[in-house]
Amino acid sequence: MKPILDIIVVTYDQNHELKCFIESILAQTEENWRMLVIHDGPSVQFGKIMEAYLGDHRIDYMLTDKRYNDWGHSLRKIGVERLGDSEYTLISNADNYYAPVFIKEMCHRKADLVYCDLVHSHWGYQARESRLRRRAVDCGNVIIRTELLKRVGWNHFDYAADWHVIEECLETEATVQKVNACLFVHN
């Protein structure tokens, strides 16, 4: 059975945070997902952390040969280029985490792009209503139909690259639905 959601996770030396992220996904009420964790450059500690999850066929990981140091955007591009046959894709950072119903609430919609409200560290950890505009959304609280994301690609590497990708998806006249619940914490 193809997964309903592919999750691309980017990280750099976020050891405890990464464990929290993965555990928040393992705690999901919807179990039909697949995750690729990508570390920005070589790391012995990262490999040791990921060994604990080798028994779960849904979780895979890789390290890049060099450190890109571009907020994870080169890693996101690598992840998008490796996408398979899932219905939706989520792109996130390893220091974020999710409510246990995130996948269930987000993926059982009929839109090309689905988003929810969030708690964001840049806003002092206040719950905020998310909007589809720059500085009001994060790639971590948006899922995009995988075929659409593969078509658009990840072609931006500046600080606001996630907004540019979301905007390019919207420009395709993608259908949009919002889940009126705070299901994501951005750190």
Place of tokens 């697949």: 34
Let me know if 54 is exposed, middle or buried by CB neighbors in 10 A (0-12, 13-18, 19+). exposed
pLDDT, tens digit, 9 for 90 and up, residues 138-148 = 999 999 999 99
Coil, helix or strand at residue 113: strand
Q: What is the mean pLDDT of the chain?
A: 96
116, pLDDT greater than 90? yes
C-alpha span between 87 and 84 (Å, rounded) = 9
CB atoms within 10 A of CB 162: 23
pTM above 0.95, yes or no: yes
pLDDT in the model for residue 143: 98
- Under DSSP, is residue 144 helix (H, G, I), strand (E, B) or coil? strand
Q: Based on the number of CB atoms within 10 Å of its own CB, is 12 exposed (0-12), middle (13-18) or buried (19 or more)?
A: buried
Task: Give 106-110 contacts, CB < 8 A, sequence gap 24+.
Answer: 106/5, 106/143, 106/179, 106/183, 107/4, 107/5, 107/30, 107/143, 108/30, 109/177, 109/179, 110/175, 110/177
Q: What is the tens place of the pLDDT at every residue in 8-55?
A: 999 999 999 999 999 999 999 999 999 999 999 999 999 999 999 999
Task: Quote the DSSP letter at residue 42.
Answer: -
